Structure 1
Amino acid sequence: MADTPNSPVVDAQLRRASVQERLGALEVEQARLRQELVSLSGELRLPGLYLTLDAAGTSALLVADAVQEVVRLVELEPLPGAPPHVAGTFIYRGSPAVAVDLAVLLGVTREPALDAHLVICKGARPVAVLVDRVRDLVEAPVLVEGTPDGDVALPWDGTGLMAGLCRTPEGIRPLLRISAVLVGSEET
Structure 2
Amino acid sequence: MALTGVVKSFNPHKGWGFIESNGQDVFLYKGDLKGICVDKGTNVQFTMKSTEKGTQAENVVVIISPDEASYFGEIKSFNSMKGYGFITSEAFPNQDIFLLKTDIQDGYAPGGCPCRFKVTMEEKGPRAQEVQLLGQAAQDMSMWGGWGMKGMKGMGKGMGKMGKGLNIWQPMFMKDW
Name the TM tier (shorter chain): under 0.3
TM-score normalised per structure 1? 0.23
Q: Which has the higher helix share?
A: 1
TM-score normalised per structure 2? 0.24
Q: Which has the higher strand share?
A: 2
Larger RCO (alpha carbons 8 Å, 6+ apart): 1
Task: Please tell me whether Structure 1 or Structure 2 has the larger radius of gyration of its CA atoms.
Answer: 2
